[in-house]
C-alpha cells in the first residue's frame, strides 16, 4: 500500500516536472520568436540613425542587440533536440541568476537512454544545482556539466557550488527543504538503474557532484525499456 502511494507520488512529481520544463523551454523560444519578429524594426531604426550620421548611436544599438541575442541563443548542441531545449533553457535561467555555467555536452550515438529519461535526469540535476547556487554569493556561484562518453559508457556529471557538506539519509542526500525535494535525486537514480547503470553522489564543503555511468553496449532487455 505504502509502495503504491510512493509510486503515485513520484509519477505525479515527474509529470509536474516535465510540465515545468516545457513551460521554461516555451518561454525561451517565445523570446527568440519575439526577437526575430522585431528584426526588421531594428534594421529600420539603425538605417535611420545611419542616414543622420549618428554612428555612435548605431554602435550602442548593436551592442544592446548583441547582448539580448546572446541571452537567448543556443549555447549547447548535444545531438538530441529535446535535450538541447532543456539544457539551453536551464542555462538561460542560470544566467538570469548570475550563475556561471561551463557545459560540454555531446550525446554518444549508441546511448540507449531515451529523450524523456535524459531530460528528467538533466532537469532534476540542473534544478538542484540552481537551488544550491541561489543560496550563495554571486562570486561563489558555478555549475559545471559534462555529458559524453567515458570508455564504453555514457557519462553524465554535474558539479555545482554549494554550502556546507550535506549528510546522507540512507543512500541519498536530502535537502533541508524537505522530503519533497528529495524525490529529485531518487528519480535520477531510478532511471540510472533502469539502464543497468551506476549512480554516484558526493557532497563536500563548497561543492556537490553527481556522476552517472550507463553502458553503451546494446542489451536486448535494456533496449526494450529504452524504446
Q: CA-CA distance, 133 to 97, in Å (whole number)?
A: 9
pLDDT band at 225 (very low <50, low <70, confident <90, very high): very low
Contacts of residue 193, defined as CB under 8 A and 6 or more positions apart, other chains included, come to: 199
Domains identified in the chain, total number: 1
Domain containing residue 151: CATH number: 3.30.565.10
* pLDDT tens per residue across span 40-50: 676 777 778 77
Domain annotation covers residue 42: no
Residue 30, burial from CB neighbour count under 10 angstroms (0-12, 13-18, 19+): exposed
Domain annotation covers residue 23: no
Domain annotation covers residue 2: no
> What is the pLDDT, as a whole number, of residue 50?
79
Domain annotation covers residue 209: yes
Residue 68 vs residue 162, higher pLDDT: 162
| Kind of pairing between the strands at 100-105 and 142-150 | parallel
pTM for the whole structure: 0.67
Domain annotation covers residue 61: no
* Domain with 80 in it: 75-226
Highest-confidence range of 2-11, 46-55, 73-82, 120-129, by mean pLDDT?
A: 120-129
Domain annotation covers residue 148: yes
Amino acid at each position: 500500500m505504502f509502495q503504491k502511494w510512493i509510486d503515485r507520488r513520484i509519477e505525479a512529481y515527474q509529470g509536474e516536472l516535465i510540465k515545468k520544463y516545457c513551460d521554461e523551454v516555451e518561454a525561451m523560444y517565445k523570446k527568440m520568436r519575439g526577437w526575430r519578429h522585431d528584426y526588421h524594426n531594428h534594421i529600420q531604426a539603425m538605417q535611420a540613425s545611419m542616414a543622420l550620421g549618428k554612428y555612435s548611436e548605431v554602435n550602442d544599438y548593436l551592442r544592446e542587440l548583441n547582448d539580448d541575442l546572446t541571452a537567448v541563443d543556443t549555447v549547447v548542441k548535444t545531438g538530441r533536440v529535446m535535450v538541447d531545449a532543456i539544457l539551453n533553457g536551464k542555462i538561460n535561467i542560470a544566467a538570469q541568476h548570475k550563475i556561471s555555467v561551463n557545459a560540454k555536452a555531446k550525446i554518444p550515438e549508441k546511448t540507449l537512454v531515451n529523450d524523456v529519461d535524459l531530460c528528467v535526469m538533466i532537469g532534476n540535476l540542473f534544478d538542484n544545482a540552481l537551488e544550491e547556487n541561489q543560496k550563495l554569493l554571486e562570486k561563489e556561484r558555478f555549475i559545471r556539466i559534462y555529458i559524453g562518453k567515458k570508455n564504453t559508457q555514457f557519462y553524465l556529471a554535474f558539479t555545482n557550488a554549494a554550502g556546507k557538506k550535506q549528510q546522507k539519509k540512507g543512500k541519498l542526500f536530502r535537502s533541508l527543504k524537505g522530503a519533497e525535494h528529495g524525490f529529485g535525486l531518487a528519480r535520477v537514480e531510478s532511471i540510472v538503474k533502469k539502464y543497468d547503470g551506476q549512480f554516484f553522489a558526493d557532497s563536500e564543503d563548497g561543492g556537490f557532484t553527481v556522476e552517472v555511468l550507463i553502458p553503451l553496449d546494446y542489451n536486448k532487455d535494456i533496449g526494450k525499456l529504452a524504446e
